[in-house]
């Protein structure tokens, strides 16, 4: 095999393992099992305020997957700490694996915004 072909083959292998793309179906299952949909809705369009809290649930539908994954990783690392007392986003995101986050991000980003 040509050296350059080998190189391209190797480079694409490395990129695909380093940035494993989110899986829509797994993301949907995770969004249900982790109860993300209880607050964000099945399609991530839910924006209802909770109880006496002032802040409403942010829109997830149609946001770029990279943005959703970044915010979840920020919650996970507690770089972003939610000020909504009952959502505990940091705790929830902290329990997700890096791949879970990619999958969930792929699912919500593919949803139509309405």
Residues of this chain that bind ligand HEC (CB under 6 A): 34-36, 38-40, 55, 57-58, 60, 68, 71-72, 82-84, 86-87, 89, 92, 104
Q: State which residue, 68 or 106, has the beta carbon closest to ligand HEC.
A: 68
- Beta carbon of residue 17, minimum distance to ligand HEC (angstroms, whole number): 23
**Which long-range CB contacts under 8 A does 26-32 form with residues at least 24 apart?**
26/103, 27/103, 27/104, 27/105, 27/106, 27/107, 27/108, 28/107, 30/96, 30/100, 30/103, 30/104, 30/107, 31/104, 31/107, 31/108
- Beta carbon of residue 61, minimum distance to ligand HEC (angstroms, whole number): 11
- Beta carbon of residue 68, minimum distance to ligand HEC (angstroms, whole number): 5
- Beta carbon of residue 67, minimum distance to ligand HEC (angstroms, whole number): 7
Rounded Cα–Cα distance for residues 28 and 102 (Å): 11
Q: State which residue, 16 or 78, has the beta carbon closest to ligand HEC.
A: 78
Q: State which residue, 10 or 42, has the beta carbon closest to ligand HEC.
A: 42
| Cβ-count burial 12-32 (b if 16+ within 10 Å, e if not) | eeeeeeeeeebbeebbbebbe
Q: State which residue, 6 or 88, has the beta carbon closest to ligand HEC.
A: 88
């Amino acid at each position: 095999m040509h050296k350059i072909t080998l190189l391209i083959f190797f480079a694409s292998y490395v990129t695909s393992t380093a940035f494993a793309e989110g899986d829509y179906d797994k993301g949907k299952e995770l969004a249900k099992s982790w109860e993300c949909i209880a607050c964000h809705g099945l399609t991530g369009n839910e924006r209802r305020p909770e109880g006496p809290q002032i802040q409403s649930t942010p829109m997830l539908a149609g946001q770029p997957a990279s943005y959703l994954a970044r915010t979840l990783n920020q919650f996970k690392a507690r770089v972003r700490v939610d000020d909504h007392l009952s959502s505990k986003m940091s705790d929830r995101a902290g329990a997700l694996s890096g791949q879970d986050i990619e999958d969930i991000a792929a699912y919500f980003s593919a949803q139509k915004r309405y």
